[in-house]
Structure formats: C-alpha cells, structure tokens
C-alpha cells in the first residue's frame, strides 16, 4: 500500500490502525480475553460474535483456546484483510469467519449467537443505543454480552480532550463510569459481573518504542515518505 503524507494525515484512528497492522487489543489485552473465556462457560458448540475485531486479536486468541464458532466483524475492510492473514498464520482460520459489517445494522438472524464480545468499540460508534439493540437482537435468550468500555476517572480538560479528538480524527465523548452503568442498565440485560480496572501509566519512552516498532515493521516505508 502506498500513501502520501497528506493521505496519511487524513486517516482517522480506526483506518490508521488497520494500515499499520497494529495488533489492536481490547482494553486489558490478553488478560481480558482470558477472563472472558474463564467466566463465560463457552462450549465447543458455542457461537461467538466479536464486534470491531480490527486486526483480529480477540477472535484469534479465543480460537487458539476453544473449538467454537466465531464470527468477527469490523467496518474497516483493510483491518479485516490483516485479521484474515493473521488467523491463517496461527492456523485458526477455519474457526473464524471475518465479515465487514456495521455494528449499528447487523446482517445476522435474531438469536444467532451465545456470546457477543464488544471490546472498546461502543466509544467509537455514534449511535450506541442502536448498536446495543443489535447486540441484544442477535443474542440467544440467556446469551452473554461481554463489553469492555473505557471511561475517564478524572474528566480531562477541554484543551486536552480536543487534542485527543484531533489526534484520533474522530468526534468521541468524555464517558464516565456512571455513563456506562446507565447505558447498560436496560430491561433485557441482567448484570452478573462488573469489574473495574485502571490503565497502567505508560512513559513517553515506552510509547516512542511502540511507535518505532511499528515503523520498523514496515521497513521504514512510512518514515521515508
């Protein structure tokens, strides 16, 4: 893929992570996925829908551990292509069907899935209530929605938040724990587990190393332009 600096500059966060092939993980990474597996009683004949799989990390990590059927969706075609290649690399491609879908308007039948896994996706979806309705529609009765939304413990300043939106090139909102508690407090959902985690503080140097690693991976193609 060839991109000019202008083109790269116009990409939003979701598009960029697909192109740089970042191993985009849900908040908490592999620990979150292991938690999901341990708490969810997934069986070999379970059917899981992963929303916003990006480059496939969650679907692949589940498939490595359990013989179930996984459908992993994302709105971004480039990310899905990378996810498919990664699934082949780990030899789990027979268990996962990657599909381009919009979480707000899923093409699946009612009550098709035992589990819906939604990492930190809802933060990026403009009509979140519509997406949640879709999750509920495709879940079987007694099915489980596992969601990992992110929220601010301390409300950031307007200036700082504007910088975040500019960097992401997306209009996101400052969500709080209370906001998500209310959001998921719907009649058709019973809360049976809720846990809170905090992100580790990451030093600038570690962030820089991560960025360097991504550039390195692309043989400096991006840097050169």
Contacting residues toward ligand SAM, per CB under 6 A: 14, 24, 26, 52-54, 58, 73-76, 79, 102-104, 119-121, 124-125
Q: How far apart are the first and last CA of the chain?
A: 13
Of residues 124 and 183, the one with the C-beta less far from ligand SAM: 124
Closest approach of ligand SAM to the CB of residue 223, in Å: 24
Write down the H helix ranges in the chain: 5-10, 13-19, 29-40, 57-65, 77-89, 128-138, 158-168, 177-183, 204-217, 221-224
**Minimum distance from residue 76 beta carbon to ligand SAM (Å):** 4
The minimum distance between CB 7 and ligand SAM, in angstroms, equals 18
**Between β-strands 69-74 and 139-147, what pairing exists: parallel, antiparallel or unpaired?**
unpaired
Q: Which residue is nearest to ligand SAM (CB)?
A: 119
Q: How far is the CB of 126 from ligand SAM (least distance, A)?
A: 8
Min CB(124)–ligand SAM separation in Å: 4
What Å distances lie between residue 6 and 1, 11, 116, 217, 219, CA to CA? Answer: 14, 9, 37, 21, 20
Residue 61 and residue 83: Cα distance in Å, rounded? 12
Residue 53, classified by CB atoms within 10 Å of its CB into exposed (0-12), middle (13-18) or buried (19+), is buried
Which of these, 30, 29, 17, lies nearest to 83 by C-alpha position? Answer: 17
124/215 with CB nearer ligand SAM = 124
Nearer residue to ligand SAM within complex by CB, 68 or 80: 80
CB of 38 to ligand SAM, least distance (A): 17
State which residue, 90 or 220, has the beta carbon closest to ligand SAM: 90
Nearer to ligand SAM, 114 or 120 (CB): 120
3-state secondary structure string across 99-147: EECECCECCCCCCCEEEEEECCCHHHCCCHHHHHHHHHHHEEEEEEEEE
Beta carbons of 78 and 105 less than 8 angstroms apart: no
Query: Measured from the CB atom, is 61 or 141 closer to ligand SAM?
Result: 61
């Amino acid at each position: 893929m060839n991109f000019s600096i202008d083109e790269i500059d116009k990409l939003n966060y979701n598009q960029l992570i697909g192109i740089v092939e970042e191993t985009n993980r849900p908040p908490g990474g592999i620990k979150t996925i292991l938690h999901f597996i341990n708490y969810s009683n997934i069986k070999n004949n379970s059917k899981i829908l992963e929303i916003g799989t990006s480059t496939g990390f969650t679907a692949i990590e589940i498939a490595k551990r359990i013989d179930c059927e996984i459908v992993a969706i994302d709105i971004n075609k480039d990310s899905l292509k990378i996810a498919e290649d990664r699934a082949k690399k780990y030899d789990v491609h027979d268990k996962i069907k990657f599909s381009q879908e919009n979480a707000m308007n899923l093409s699946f039948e009612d009550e098709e899935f035992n589990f819906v896994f939604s990492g930190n996706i809802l933060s990026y979806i403009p009509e979140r209530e519509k997406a949640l309705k879709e999750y509920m529609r495709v879940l079987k009765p007694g099915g489980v929605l596992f969601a990992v939304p992110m929220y601010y413990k301390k409300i950031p300043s307007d200036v700082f938040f504007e910088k975040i939106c500019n960097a992401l090139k997306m209009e996101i909102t400052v969500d709080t724990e209370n906001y998500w508690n209310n959001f998921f407090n719907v009649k058709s959902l019973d809360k049976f587990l809720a846990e809170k985690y905090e992100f580790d503080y990451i030093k600038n140097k570690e962030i820089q190393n991560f960025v360097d690693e991504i550039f390195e991976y692309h043989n400096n193609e991006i840097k050169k332009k």
